[in-house]
Structure 1
Amino acid sequence: MRISLMAVVACLLAGVLLPGPAAAAMRTARPGLAGAMTGEATPHTCEIPAIRAGSAASLKAFHRAMAGCADRFWAARFAAAGLPYSPPEVTITTGTDSVCGKITSTGAQYCPVQRTIVIRILKQDLRDPFRMNIAHSVAHEWGHHVQQLIGVLDAQNALYWPASESARSVLSHRLEMQAECFAGVFYSAALKSINPDVSWGEWIEAVGGADESEIHGKPRNLAFWQDRGYRGGATGFCNTWTAKASRVK
């Protein structure tokens, strides 16, 4: 999610069952993950460097530091839950090509088959580097990697292809909003290290006021889930799959 251009499972909760075919598909995700990862995240200190306007090298260094920070955070959360963890590959580019084809988003995307996060450095980021917005490229896409590791992406995929167009839209929103919530969980522990350009309240207000995205959903809901993860500080607050429809539109 990129503030500048768009707005900024499942059975993750132990014992939660989804109605109909959703229940069967989502039970293929690792059961009880959030039940084992519900403890509040402890403060997570990382060294995130400054960004120099006009310097692609400093932007790459920033993204690499953010990736290392996110990797250590999630590795610790998985370890605490007794679950296996493996980091994604991270590719940083100024072009539009990636290991899974053209970069369709303006800033970053996750390639699930290759388990790779692809980050595109934009001209606007070179001109006016906004730390929190740029940091979110890593935090959100790492949320998708977490979904991949616990089986959520496969479960969502099984529901997505046979679904109607309207149902696909809702499934996409639930997936993206859970990744936003996971990013919020990460921020709850690491925000101080990121040294953002804005307060948390200002950031959430900006997320809620950004442009709407067909894939991600309404900005106000993206803001709600990101803030929920931040204030809750645990993945157990991120079950978008049983949330009412109005919260994932």
Structure 2
Amino acid sequence: MMIRALATTAGALTLLLSGTAAASAYPVTGSPELTHNALYKLRAVPSVSCKATKGTTKSSTTKYLNKVVGCLNSAWGKIMKDFVPAGLSIKDTHEQGPCYSGMEISGSFATSCNRGIQVQLRSDWIKAKSDQAVIVELTRAYGGFVQAQTGISEAWWALRHNGEQAEIDEQTHRFHLQADCLSGVSLKSLGRSAKNWKPLLDAETPKEYDRFNWDGKTANRLHWFEQGYRSGRAGSCNTWKAPSSKVA
């Protein structure tokens, strides 16, 4: 599914490429931007009518991507203070990789970058007859945009740790699981549904990311995504106060 939202700056790549050791008990303290962000007090994201149809041509897919991001801007903009709509950059090739990370991706991807959305559009997305996996990836990238807009991304990057790999891993999971949860919130707002979300969560993940485990256990990822989807509220996405078992 989603590209692992490479935060909002290329510098975040160092933290994201940390290992995958099992999470331990590392509560987040001294960072109210994460644990008590104003995002969690917002009302439910309102439903929006979004008649976005993805064809199987480059032009129709580009139009579709712009439409969906526009719908998300409309929905979230109704409840967020000082909201600045997410811009969308669509290119055939992002030569410096996702958010200038230097990583080369062969297929399509979507990620948050510099408080906007970056999409590399290739034939895999263009030819896809169903948009289910694509829109899950796009809304997860939008979740990263919400994290950036509310100061969460910056606060996560600034988190201090004692140098233990397990602690770095756990806080990396918290960040990415929150984006999964916000993706669920957005999909609820768009009125999208699926009989089984589990296969969609990984359906569009570039193969280059298979070796990383930025989200933790699949069960936890599904838990946070469905929690956001059921509630439709960002307040259900506070992974920073969750026990370690829920972000392992």
TM-score interval for Structure 1 and Structure 2 normalised by the shorter chain:
0.7 to 0.9
TM superposition shift of 1:110: 1.8
| Partner of residue 60, structure 1 | 62
Q: Alignment RMSD, CA only? A: 2.9
Taking the TM superposition and a 5 Å limit, the aligned residue runs for 1:176-215 are 176-192=176-192, 199-204=193-198, 206-207=200-201, 213-215=212-214
Q: Does 1:33 align with 2:38?
A: yes
TM superposition shift of 1:30: 9.3
Query: Which amino acid letter does the alignment assign opposite residue 171 of structure 1?
Result: Q
| Partner of residue 47, structure 1 | 51
Note closer, same or farther for the CA distance 1:122–1:217 as it changes in structure 2 (3 Å cut): farther
Question: Aligned partners of 1:226 and 1:108: how far apart in 2?
Answer: 18
Asked whether the 8 Å contact 2:26–2:167 carries over to 1, the reply is no
| Partner of residue 69, structure 1 | 71
Query: Which amino acid letter does the alignment assign opposite residue 245 of structure 2?
Result: S
Question: Aligned partners of 1:212 and 1:59: how far apart in 2?
Answer: 29
TM-score norm. by structure 1 comes to: 0.76
| Partner of residue 147, structure 1 | 147
TM superposition shift of 1:188: 1.4
| Partner of residue 85, structure 2 | 87
Asked whether the 8 Å contact 2:27–2:241 carries over to 1, the reply is no
Name the stretch that deviates more: 178-187 or 159-168.
159-168
| Partner of residue 11, structure 1 | none
Name the stretch that deviates more: 92-101 or 168-177.
92-101
Query: Which amino acid letter does the alignment assign opposite residue 90 of structure 2?
Result: I
| Partner of residue 9, structure 1 | none
Note closer, same or farther for the CA distance 1:208–1:220 as it changes in structure 2 (3 Å cut): farther
TM-score norm. by structure 2 comes to: 0.76
Once the two structures are superposed, what CA deviation does each residue of 1:92-115 show, in whole Å capped at 9, x if it has no partner? 12213256344556512222xx32
Identity over aligned residues, as a percent? Answer: 21
**Unmatched tracts of structure 2, length 5 or more:** 5-24
| Partner of residue 246, structure 1 | 245
Asked whether the 8 Å contact 1:178–1:225 carries over to 2, the reply is yes
Question: Aligned partners of 1:205 and 1:246: how far apart in 2?
Answer: 22
Question: Aligned partners of 2:120 and 2:239: how far apart in 1?
Answer: 28
Asked whether the 8 Å contact 1:169–1:215 carries over to 2, the reply is yes
Note closer, same or farther for the CA distance 1:212–1:47 as it changes in structure 2 (3 Å cut): farther
Name the stretch that deviates more: 66-75 or 134-143.
134-143
Question: Aligned partners of 2:148 and 2:224: how far apart in 1?
Answer: 19
Query: Which amino acid letter does the alignment assign opposite residue 28 of structure 2?
Result: A
Asked whether the 8 Å contact 2:173–2:215 carries over to 1, the reply is yes
- State the secondary structure of the residue aligned to 2:119: strand
Note closer, same or farther for the CA distance 1:221–1:77 as it changes in structure 2 (3 Å cut): same
Note closer, same or farther for the CA distance 1:45–1:149 as it changes in structure 2 (3 Å cut): same
Once the two structures are superposed, what CA deviation does each residue of 1:47-86 show, in whole Å capped at 9, x if it has no partner? 212322xx111111111011101111111121xxxx2111
Give the number of equivalent residue pairs.
Answer: 219
Taking the TM superposition and a 5 Å limit, the aligned residue runs for 1:88-237 are 88-97=86-95, 100-102=100-102, 107-111=109-113, 114-159=114-159, 163-192=163-192, 199-204=193-198, 206-207=200-201, 213-237=212-236
